[in-house]
Structure formats: C-alpha cells, structure tokens
C-alpha cells in the first residue's frame, strides 16, 4: 500500500511539473503575453474546462474497472435534449420550477443510461468498450429521433444562468466541477464502493473471493458515470442555450487524452481524480495558447491525437518498467 501511494504521488508530481512547463511555454510562445495572463483569459478557461472535466471523471470510473465508456457524450446530449424539452413544455405553466424539473429529468436519464450500460457489461458480459460503442450510437440515435436532427432552442434566460453566472469572480459551472471533484474523491478514497471499484479493476477474480458483488459494483459504477455525464449535458446545453444530438463530437478523444495523461490506467485499478484535475488544467492552458496562436480546430485535433498516442506509449513503458522491477524484487 505504501508503495502504491508513493508511485501515485510521484506520478502526480510529474503531472504538476508538466503543467508548470506548459504554462511557461505558452507564456513564452504567445505573442501578447499580457493578454494570456489576464484574469479574463483564466475566466474563459474556467468556462470551457468543466464540460470536459466532468465527462473525463465519468470516463475515469469505467477505466478504473478496466474498461472504457465511449457513451458519455451521447448520454450528455440525450440528457440535455430531454432536459430542454421538459423546460420548454412546462415553463409557461410553472415558471422557473421547470428548470429544476428539467435538470432532475436529465439526471434521471443519465442514471438510467448508465444502468443500461452496466447491465450489458456486468450481466451479459460484453466488454465495456464494445458495449458503450453500441450504446453511444443508440443514445445519439434516440436524440436524433426525438429532435429529428434539429437543435432544441428557445430556452429561457434563467436556464442560461447556469452556464453564465459568476460567483466571487468564478463561473458557477467551475464551482459545480469542483464539487464533482470533491464528491468523487470522497467516493473513491473514503467510501467502501471506492475500494470495491479499485479492487474489481485490479482483479475481478480477487474481488469475487473477497466477497464483493461484482455485478452490483459494475452497475453502480456505470450509474455514477451516467449521472456525471448528465451533469455535463446540463452545463453544455446551458452554455449554448440549445441542445442537439451531435454536440461535443470531439469530446471523447479529449476525455481519453485527459484521463490517460492524468494517470488513469486503461487496465483498471489505478488513478486518482486529482490527476484528472491537473491534466485538464494543463490541456486547457495549452488549448488557450493554441487559440491565441490561431491554430485551427483541425490542427488542434491532430495535436491532441499525437499527445494521446505519446501518453499511452509513455504509460505502457512505465508499467513495463514497474513490472520488471517488481519481478526482480520477488526473485531477490
């Protein structure tokens, strides 16, 4: 256990060093340094960060089990669509209460979609990546069927405040992200379910022998992932004041990039939320710098892909080095 903590802390220190290097590099490369260092630029980052951050935390839960949830964006969009429809259909009758009703609907949809994913993975034995690849298309298809491919618009201004309101100079959605980080950290580090998720991700057979109900834990894990995805969906629709089935099509690549760079093992059983936080801040700093350097969206997508491949290669060889070292220690 001490060695596990030591390895995790070393990884977080490396991540923190990378974040500082990225910040210094962007300050040097951006032609107008004063513009990059303005508080308004950091506020802009805080408006963009929560969507990807929360979706990445949702992806992280599946990765801790040794799988990947590719459906988080589809769940977010479907939740946002149904939330918007509920608000539009009830706003004239019940006013601002309709916003609460819409958000509750979105969260319920997220949990339901997560439970469906968990059922396919745990009960039917379908690998998480394949299961969620299918449900990603299914949830997107349902969203397209409901909206007939068009965007849902005309949402009330009160709903837009979720994505635009500032509290103490910090966007409300950034506060929501910090609450999500705090709550998921407590779940993973201080609650029984967190210990069960880590153990199940490390070894399914060992988890079963310790009395863990693998099916139940898998279901709960994917339900948490779906719940978090729906929160991201609410934020996304509130910021854009519309909902559509194909919003955030590039988000899944960024989520995987943030998760892997943040030290979440794709093989399961290892990773912390704080790694996600440092990773998303690092990539947001780089993204902001790219925008000021006038990189196109295609150039950025290409660079994110390269960084993802590079991060996976580095993590693979780091795991191989640890395994080799462990084998040598056991022999001695």
Q: What is the b/e burial string over 96-129, where b = at least 16 CB atoms within 10 angstroms of the residue's CB?
A: eebbebbbebbbebbbbbbbbbbbbbbeeebebe
Per the CB < 8 A criterion, the answer to whether 219 and 118 are in contact is: yes
Residue 262 has pLDDT above 70, yes or no: yes
Domains of the chain: 2-29+50-331 (1.10.3470)
More confident residue, 122 or 310: 122
Q: Distance of alpha carbon 272 from its chain centroid, rounded?
A: 13
Top-confidence residue, 328 or 243? 243
Residues 6 or more apart whose Cβ sits within 8 Å of residue 101: 86, 87, 90, 94
Decide if pLDDT at 2 tops 50. Answer: no
> What's residue 330's pLDDT?
64
* Opening angle at CA 301, ends 299 and 304, nearest 5: 110
Bridge partners, 166 (sequence order):
171
The answer, yes or no, to whether residue 1 has pLDDT greater than 50, is: no
> Count of CB atoms within 10 A of residue 211's CB?
7
Helix axis angle for 273-292 and 172-190, nearest 10°, is 150
For the ranges 54-63, 129-138, 195-204, which has the lowest average pLDDT? 195-204
- Please report the pLDDT score of residue 112 as a whole number: 96
The string of pLDDT tens digits covering residues 212-249 is: 888 899 999 999 999 999 999 999 999 989 999 888 77
Which range of 22-31, 221-230, 276-285, 289-298 scores highest in mean pLDDT? It is 221-230
Mean pLDDT of the 98-107 span? 95
Q: State yes or no: pLDDT of 3 exceeds 50.
A: no
In the predicted model, what is the mean pLDDT of residues 88-98?
A: 91
pLDDT at site 329: 67
284 within 8 A of 44, measured Cβ to Cβ: no
Distance of CA 54 to the CA centre of its chain: 4
* pLDDT at 81 > cutoff 50: yes
Local structure of 167: helix, strand or coil: strand
CA distance 94 to 131: 39
Bridge partners, residue 170, by sequence:
167
Residue 5 confidence (pLDDT): 46
What are the tens digits of pLDDT across the range 20-58? 887 888 888 777 777 777 888 888 888 888 999 999 999
Please state whether 115 falls in left (phi above 0), alpha (psi between -120 and 50) or beta. Answer: alpha
- pLDDT-derived band of residue 10, with 50, 70 and 90 as boundaries? low
pLDDT at 4 over 60: no
143-191 pLDDT, tens digit per residue, is 999 999 889 998 999 999 998 899 998 999 999 999 999 999 999 988 8
Contact yes or no for 232/106 (Cβ under 8 A): no
In angstroms, the CA 302 to CA 185 distance is 32
Least confident of 80-84, 131-135, 318-322: 318-322
pTM: 0.86
Residue 11 scores a pLDDT above 70: no
CB atoms within 10 A of CB 94: 12
- Over residues 283-312, mean pLDDT: 77
Q: Mean of the pLDDT values across residues 288-312?
A: 76
As given in the structure block, the two tokens for residue 320 are 């191989």
pLDDT confidence of residue 252: 86
Highest mean pLDDT, choosing among 107-121, 195-209, 273-287: 107-121
Q: What is the DSSP string of 106-164?
A: HHHHHHHHHHHHHHHHHTS---HHHHHHHHHHHHHHHHHHHHTTPPB----HHHHHHHH
DSSP H helices in the chain: 2-29, 33-36, 39-64, 72-94, 97-122, 128-147, 157-164, 172-190, 192-202, 204-209, 214-240, 251-261, 273-292, 297-331
Q: What is the mean pLDDT of the chain?
A: 85
pLDDT at 214: 87
């Amino acid at each position: 256990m001490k060695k596990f903590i030591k390895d995790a802390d070393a990884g977080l220190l490396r991540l923190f060093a990378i974040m500082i290097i990225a910040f210094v590099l962007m300050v040097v490369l951006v032609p107008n340094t004063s513009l990059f260092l303005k508080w308004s630029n950091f506020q802009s980052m805080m408006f963009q960060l929560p969507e990807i951050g929360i979706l990445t935390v949702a992806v992280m839960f599946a990765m801790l089990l040794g799988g990947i949830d590719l459906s988080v964006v589809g769940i977010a969009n479907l939740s946002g669509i149904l939330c918007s429809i509920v608000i539009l259909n009830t706003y004239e009758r019940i006013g601002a209460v309709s916003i609460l009703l819409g958000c509750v609907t979105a969260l319920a949809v997220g949990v339901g979609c997560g439970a469906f994913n968990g059922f396919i993975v745990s009960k039917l034995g379908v690998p998480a990546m394949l299961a969620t690849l299918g449900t990603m298309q299914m949830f997107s298809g349902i969203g397209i069927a409901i909206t007939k491919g068009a965007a849902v618009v005309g949402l009330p201004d009160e709903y837009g405040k979720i994505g635009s309101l500032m509290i103490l100079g910090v966007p409300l959605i950034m506060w929501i992200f910090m609450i999500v980080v705090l709550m998921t950290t407590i779940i993973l580090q201080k609650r029984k379910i967190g210990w069960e998720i880590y153990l199940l991700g490390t070894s399914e057979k060992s988890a079963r022998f310790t009395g863990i109900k693998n099916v139940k834990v898998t279901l709960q894990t994917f339900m948490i992932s779906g719940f978090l995805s729906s929160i991201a969906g609410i934020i996304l629709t509130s910021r854009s004041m519309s909902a559509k089935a194909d919003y955030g099509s590039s988000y899944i690549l960024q989520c995987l990039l943030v998760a892997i760079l943040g030290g979440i093992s794709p093989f399961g059983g290892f990773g912390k939320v704080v790694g996600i936080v440092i990773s998303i801040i690092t990539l947001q700093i780089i993204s902001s710098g790219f925008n000021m350097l006038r990189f196109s969206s295609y150039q950025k997508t290409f660079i994110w892909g390269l960084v993802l491949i590079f991060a996976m290669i580095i993590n693979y060889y780091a795991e191989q080095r640890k395994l080799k070292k462990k084998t040598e220690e056991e022999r001695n």
